[in-house]
Structure 1
Amino acid sequence: MTGGAGFVGGHVVASLVATGARVRVLDDFSTGSMDNLCHARTLGLADADIRAVDIAALEGQQEIRDWRPSVVVHLAANAAFARSIRDPYLDARINVLGTIGVLAAAASCGAEKVVLASSGGTVYGELPAGAARLAEDAPRTPVSPYGLSKLTADRYAELYRELFGLPHTALALANVYGPGQDPGAGVVAATARAVATGRRPLIYGDGRQTRDFVHVSDVAEAFRRAVNAPPCATVNIGTGIETRIADVVAEVCRCFGVPTTPRYAPERPGEVTRICLDNRRAAELLGWRPTVGLVEGIAGVVDTLRAPEPAGA
């Protein structure tokens, strides 16, 4: 698995190891952490199967060829939207060239399939006015470098299927959140960290933008099912529920028991106004449905950040 030491990757590794799979983690640890692999290691992930390599470099691709896995799970990516705006070259190197290298290595070593993370929050672009959800056959018109690089990676996976017979499943993830997420990677984590450290949360734009928030434990289960299911091209992994950013911020503040007094900053370029994914295909092909509601999931994030009670209190 590439990117296995990341926020999502660590949960996916643990989910697979728990079912008896042998997993080898490839990660350059530029954003990943051994902390994200603690649970997987207690379940049996061997230290020898954790390799610090760059999958966009030849050494990372050679690791895949040497190991000859039956399934390649590809999660390594630049997942930072803002970073893609600042440095689209780096974003493309990781998300496009890295994916090409992984696909080439998987095809050359005879892998049965590749399961890769796509971005349901960016590859489709704007949810059309009047539409409730985006299905997998919706037009794809990304409006950010990150969305474009993830769409390009998806297209390469499709080409490798057509040209080299390498099957794949691309899970188009909605906005993933959960305990342990980097505060720079999502509004739930950023807001919770701000409130936990006594700062006012920040909202870009007016807060009426909407997202489809899916818990990381549900995402890990989707990957586990995709690894064990027949390849099925693109599958949306989201809740099908559209939630305003301002409402998420308010719920985090409510869980902490503090007033909702956000700061506002100009809307960031390249962000869409509305996102919501149709998840019926995931139910049909993977037997997957989300199980963690947003209120419950936010409470779990807050619980991990809440300061402990002083001794004797």
Structure 2
Amino acid sequence: LETNLVGLIRVLEGGRKAETRKIIFASSGGTIYGEPEAKQLPLNEDTPWNPLSPYGVSKLAGGMYVNTYSSLYDLKGTTLALSNVYGPRQDPHGEAGVVAIFAGKLLEREPCTIYGTGMQTRDFVYVEDVASAFVASIENGDGKLFNIGSGIETSIQHLYKEMALAVGIDSDPEKEAERSGEIERSSLDPSLAEKILGWKPETSLRDGIHSTLEWFESKKDENS
């Protein structure tokens, strides 16, 4: 709450006082919509909000604060609801995403852990594509929410197999009980972003995984 919401309000206040032209807010498409029905996937921006965690609530509230400041002050705003962002420079420790965690483990030849069945799905979008979405939002999309994702569901089990194959490992991951509060399926429809921002994801999951693993391998060599 202190970082995601209070920190954002300080940024908005600073932007207002400095007469900043625009704020682009990074929301979380994987949490603000909650657990969708299968028929709703991939989710568009008209999907009802239903965050199931304090983090999701804070991200939803953050987008509402951006809109409120835009309506009250001369401070334009756009909210980007990001799916599961991955790529080079992501820290495999702490609150890192699963791609970074798997990359760190696989390159060290350590076992990876999947919580639950592994059939839960996520929508993975490469960091360079996300960066281009922010650039595309500078001059467009004022006052709007855009889903930034691939629109493709990928199971955690499939992700592991793709990454293990890329580094020449054929062993299965370890399995542990599913963690409470995690959604079962997720994917975001990026059609509105393509229509208004002229943005769409360009990097396939396989290409993104290879680029990510190459970066992790280079950092490993530097530290050896």
Question: Is the TM-score greater than 0.5?
Answer: yes
Structure 1 CA distance, aligned partners of 2:74 and 2:37? Answer: 34
* Deviating more after overlay: 262-271 vs 139-148: 262-271
Which residue matches 1:117? 26
Q: Quickly say closer, same or farther: Cα 1:242–1:230, change in 2 above 3 A.
A: closer
Structure 2 CA distance, aligned partners of 1:137 and 1:230? Answer: 16
The answer to whether the Cα contact below 8 Å between 1:127 and 1:276 also exists between their aligned partners in 2 is: no
Which residue matches 2:40? 131
Counting only pairs closer than 5 Å after superposition, residues 1-313 of structure 1 correspond to structure 2 as: 92-184=1-93, 185-306=96-217
Number of corresponding residues: 218
Structure 2 CA distance, aligned partners of 1:165 and 1:209? Answer: 42
The Cα RMSD (Å) is 1.7
Structure 2 CA distance, aligned partners of 1:260 and 1:234? Answer: 41
Q: Secondary structure at the match of 1:130?
A: helix
**How big is the shift at 1:307?**
7.3
Structure 2 CA distance, aligned partners of 1:139 and 1:230? Answer: 20
Structure 1 CA distance, aligned partners of 2:196 and 2:157? Answer: 34
Which stretches in structure 1 are left out of the alignment for 5+ residues? 1-91
Give the letter aligned to residue 47 of structure 2.
Answer: A
Structure 1 CA distance, aligned partners of 2:218 and 2:142? Answer: 44
The answer to whether the Cα contact below 8 Å between 2:21 and 2:74 also exists between their aligned partners in 1 is: no
Structure 2 CA distance, aligned partners of 1:243 and 1:307? Answer: 26
Q: Secondary structure at the match of 1:122?
A: helix
Given the two structures, how large is their TM-score scaled by the length of structure 2? 0.92
| Identical aligned residues as a percent | 42
Q: Quickly say closer, same or farther: Cα 1:305–1:109, change in 2 above 3 A.
A: closer
Q: Which has the higher contact order (CA 8 A, sep 6+)?
A: 2
Which stretches in structure 2 are left out of the alignment for 5+ residues? none
Structure 2 CA distance, aligned partners of 1:251 and 1:236? Answer: 25
Q: Secondary structure at the match of 1:228?
A: coil
The answer to whether the Cα contact below 8 Å between 2:23 and 2:75 also exists between their aligned partners in 1 is: yes
The answer to whether the Cα contact below 8 Å between 1:213 and 1:294 also exists between their aligned partners in 2 is: yes
Q: Secondary structure at the match of 2:32?
A: coil
Structure 2 CA distance, aligned partners of 1:164 and 1:270? Answer: 37
Given the two structures, how large is their TM-score scaled by the length of structure 1? 0.67
